[in-house]
Amino acid sequence: MDPALRSAIMSSPWSWVLVSMLGLAVGSFVNVLIWRLPREESILRPASRCPKCGNALKWYHNIPVFSWLVLRGKCGFCRAPIRWVYPAVELICGGLFVGFFARYGPTVSTLAFWYLAATLIAVLFIDWEFQIIPNELTYSALVVGLGTSFFSHHITWSQSLMGAAVGFGGFLGLAYLGSWLFKKDSLGGGDIKLAAAMGAFLGVWKILLVFILSAAIGLVLAAIGMFFSASLRKHHTIPFGPSLALAALLAGFWGQEIIRFYIEHFIGN
């Protein structure tokens, strides 16, 4: 892209407004994925409905964040409470869209990371509640990650392919190792497929960074989950998908800087 055009786009406040609105709108769709995919419902039909009374929502009930605030977190028909998760997902998605736009600018790389971010948000909330990672999310992300690598400036197609292979192979190896050490499944198939998809976006070095970061994040989430969730305390199972999702988002934003810092301070000397 012409540097002058890029500068004009990045300096225009309307660019940031449009990106924010797009992120909020995509976040609204991610809420549909979070609700319907684990229940094996169509993501296209029927139109959004209140899960309590079954009434189809009006268009003005579906304005991201705004509708939830105006309705004071309640259904516009039966006044049943609407979970805080809905506006939270929309705000998180909007924030990530702005963040990746600031990081990569008006490029194919930004589009790729927007797709990855939306997928990871859905994975985080679905896996935390249902302890599953739908194949629809991992397979489509793998295809998009490999496909956009032909046009992205942050990764080549060969790096994308190698990242997917390392993600899949590395986590498959960890799964077998964990099963041998603990005599039970330590990683699910969804985690392995998710690692392959993330590797397609991130490449080899950043997916290796995800391995390390996800382990640290997993310990933190396990402590939080055990403290706040009676169900998790009872069953002693903490899904690993949220840790992978958060680690991949960190690697997408600051992976290069983290790797450079490690090399300069721990290997360079």
Q: Residue 108: pLDDT above 90?
A: yes
d(CA 65, CA 148): 30
63-80: average pLDDT: 88
d(CA 83, CA 248): 26
**Per mean pLDDT, which range of 52-66, 73-87, 153-167, 170-184 is the poorest?**
170-184
- What pTM, to 2 d.p., does this model score? 0.91
Average confidence score pLDDT of the chain: 89
Q: What per-residue confidence (pLDDT) applies to 234?
A: 59
Q: What is the pLDDT of residues 20-33, one digit of tens each?
A: 999 999 999 999 99
d(CA 65, CA 86): 8
**154-173 per-residue burial string, b: 16 or more CB within 10 A, e: under 16:** bbeeebbbbbbebbbebbbe
